[in-house]
């Protein structure tokens, strides 16, 4: 078994995991030679020629379908036999397809662009418990995007201040209050007090408005503590928890997913740290792949970007959202979340780019409204409803003063 044995440009995959990479070969190597090393290192080869007595070659990955060299290298596909992988073990799979190969001298840069998942491998994962059905089963957002907000400032508020902002946002028409990625159990806003008080107010506003109001609670912590926090949320009537899935890791997420099914909780996936993997176009792991891993692991909604309209960037939000809603051997779809720098003046553009089957989350675009949080929430809700009805924001603003004020403040510009 030598490097050359891991390259077959005429190869046709059959029921294998196929990963598409973009790579720039290391010094002195062709693209094909580098691709062979990627297939070797990520399956069962090594730098020295091997002469195994058994037929281990059946478990070797095969590099094939080498594309033209572009700005960031050439695309290469690698097919991995399913027996290489442990059933339902996402960390083990990623150790193969995005592990040592990211640091090999044989590649100057390499990026995992996409994966094609065979049915046998997909069947080992739970997938989402709810997915987009949270809009109708847990919320009253059947024919429109679900609306969420994070209290701002996102850390530093006392529990009382946090809950006051939540009440104003819910009254203004937002469905979900959401903790941000770095709010967990700090002394200025302790977890248990925040959860108990916020959920009590959510119940009160639900009764007053006739719309279900819910709270996305960040349970991110050590894994056993995440389970305890999930149980605390469920015991107090909550229906949603949030996990920072990249920083917690795929094993932690798998454990939380299993417990949340017992507790009947939906999982909101925050992607903090994703850009450490996907920001550089020539190296790392694409957001498309991160979203795929999250769907298999079983999150119900995940941040996927704003199609260039917000303050955060990643590649191909529409394509990622399409994949999250696609058929995947019976695995439920995932509800995409658009967030980061959104405000009422760009909602029509957002829905035009991504469609209505999303969650729209605005923080500063609600709480920065000149007339306060409730007015900001009303402006956001009005902008969404106008967009769905085919009415211009300017026309709707004639009858919704909160929207008129928002347009006067922010216009239709995207923030930086």
The SS3 call for residue 268 is strand
Element (H, E) at 252: helix 250-263
Structure tokens at 6: 């891991």
Contact 296, 118 (CB under 8 A): no
Q: For 204, phi and psi rounded to 5 degrees?
A: -65, -45
DSSP 199: H
The SS3 call for residue 29 is coil
DSSP 127: -
Whether the bond between 153 and the residue before it is cis, its omega within 30 degrees of 0, is yes
Is residue 152 part of the annotated active site? The answer reads: yes
Query: How big is the chain, counted in residues?
Result: 416
DSSP 184: S
Q: Which of 135, 162, 268, 270 is catalytic?
A: 270
Question: For 56, left (φ over 0), alpha (ψ -120 to 50), or beta?
Answer: alpha
Question: For 45, left (φ over 0), alpha (ψ -120 to 50), or beta?
Answer: beta
- Among 104, 118, 112, 30, smallest CA distance to 69 is for 30
Exposed/middle/buried for 210, CB within 10 Å: 0-12, 13-18, 19+? Answer: exposed
Q: Which of 152, 162, 283, 301 is catalytic?
A: 152
DSSP 273-340: TTHHHHSSTTSEE-HHHHHHHHHHHT-SEEE---TTSSS---S-HHHHHHHHTS--TT----EEEEES
CA distance 296 to 291: 9
Structure tokens at 326: 């696609």
Active site residues: 152, 270
């Amino acid at each position: 078994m030598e490097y050359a044995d891991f390259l077959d440009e005429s190869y046709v995959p059959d029921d294998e995991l196929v990963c598409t990479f973009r790579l720039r070969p290391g010094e002195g190597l062709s693209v094909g030679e580098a691709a062979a090393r990627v297939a070797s290192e990520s399956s069962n080869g090594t730098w020295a020629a091997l002469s195994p007595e058994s037929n281990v070659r059946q478990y070797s990955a095969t590099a094939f379908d080498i594309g033209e060299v572009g700005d960031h290298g050439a695309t290469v596909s690698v097919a991995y036999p399913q027996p290489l992988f442990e059933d339902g073990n996402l960390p083990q799979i990623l150790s193969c397809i995005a592990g040592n190969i990211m640091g090999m001298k044989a590649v100057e840069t390499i990026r995992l662009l996409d994966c094609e998942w065979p049915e046998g491998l997909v069947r080992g994962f739970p997938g989402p418990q709810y997915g987009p059905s949270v809009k109708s089963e847990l919320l009253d957002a059947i024919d429109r995007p679900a609306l969420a907000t994070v209290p701002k400032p996102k850390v530093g508020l006392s529990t009382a201040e946090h809950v006051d902002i939540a009440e104003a946002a819910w009254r203004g028409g937002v469905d979900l209050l959401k903790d941000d990625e770095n709010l967990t159990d700090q002394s200025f806003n302790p977890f248990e007090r925040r959860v108990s008080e916020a959920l009590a107010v959510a119940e009160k506003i639900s009764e007053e408005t006739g719309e279900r109001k819910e709270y996305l609670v960040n349970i991110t912590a050590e894994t056993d503590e995440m389970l305890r926090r999930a149980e605390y949320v469920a015991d107090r009537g909550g229906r949603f928890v949030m996990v920072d899935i990249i920083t917690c890791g795929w094993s932690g997420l798998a454990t939380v997913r299993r417990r949340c099914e017992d507790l009947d909780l939906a999982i909101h996936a925050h992607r903090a740290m994703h850009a450490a993997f996907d920001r550089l176009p020539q190296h790392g792991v694409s957001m498309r792949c991160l979203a795929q891993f999250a769907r298999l692991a079983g999150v119900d909604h995940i941040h996927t970007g704003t199609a260039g309209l917000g303050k955060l960037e990643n590649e191909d939000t529409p394509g990622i959202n399409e994949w999250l809603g696609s058929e995947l051997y019976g695995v439920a779809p995932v509800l995409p979340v658009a967030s980061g720098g959104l405000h009422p003046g760009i909602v029509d553009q957002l829905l035009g780019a991504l469609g209505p089957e999303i969650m729209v989350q605005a923080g500063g675009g609600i709480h920065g409204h000149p007339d306060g949080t409730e007015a900001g929430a009303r402006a956001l809700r009005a902008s969404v409803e106008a967009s769905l009805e085919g009415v211009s924001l300017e026309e709707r603003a004639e009858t919704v003063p909160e929207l008129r004020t928002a347009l006067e403040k922010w216009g239709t510009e995207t923030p930086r």
